[in-house]
Amino acid sequence: MSVLPLVFTSGWASGINAYAVVLLLGLFGATGLTDEVPEALQRTDVLIAAGVLFLIEAVADKVPYVDNVWDSVHTVIRPVAGAVVAALLAGESGSLPELAAGAVGGTTALMSHLVKAGTRMAVNTSPEPFSNIAISTGEDLAVAGVITFAIFHPVAAAVIAAVLLALGIWLVVFLASRIRRFRRRRAQRREERRLAAAGGGRPVDRSVGGGR
């Protein structure tokens, strides 16, 4: 079977948490659960580095506004990681050209990264930190679950990843429109209060006829 479904799924997951993807695939390959993971991802130094970076991201991704900075830094890292992982997977299976696989993985990773970053920007308009923790934990669980499922059922996992990506894009567009509407209303209320305050503070006209 073509490795394309696994390439697509790994790209989607890399856009959310690239370190988790590298760590999970490497562990699955090292433990013998699958033969489709290249040796490069199973190396001990790669697994250690991915594990350390995953732990750092697990903390940074749950802190309001820190997650926005982290996402900005990873705007390049996640798509590149998605492309590299996809190319390695294609090279291991030989069923898909590496360049094409890299393009699919990188593009999918970029799209899911933009969804993740846009969602976090919307969530950070709320002052409480619990929503960040809940969403970040949900993303980690989704990546782990879908990647694990993709090892045994790659086509079904790719369908799930595509649905989640489409829902994420819709959610970002919906939240962006709601936030713009909220900001317009808030700006309008501020302007109304300013005009009301300016009107109430005008001096009384005591010119001819005004003081009678």
Blockwise average pLDDT, block size 10, the chain, 212 residues: 89 96 95 89 95 95 91 95 95 84 95 93 77 90 95 95 94 82 72 73 50 44
Q: What is the pTM of this model?
A: 0.82
For residue 55, the model assigns a pLDDT of 96
pLDDT at residue 7, as a whole number: 95
Q: What is the DSSP string of 19-80?
A: HHHHHHHHHHHHTTS-S-S-HHHH-HHHHHHHHHHHHHHHHHTTSTTHHHHHHHHHHHHHHH
Q: How far apart are CA 40 and CA 28, in angstroms?
A: 13
Encoded amino acid at 187, one letter: A
**Cα dihedral 144/26/31/139 (nearest 10):** -10
Q: For the chain, what is the radius of gyration of the CA atoms?
A: 25
pLDDT at residue 192, rounded to an integer: 72
Rounded-to-integer distance, Cα 127 and Cα 65, Å: 10
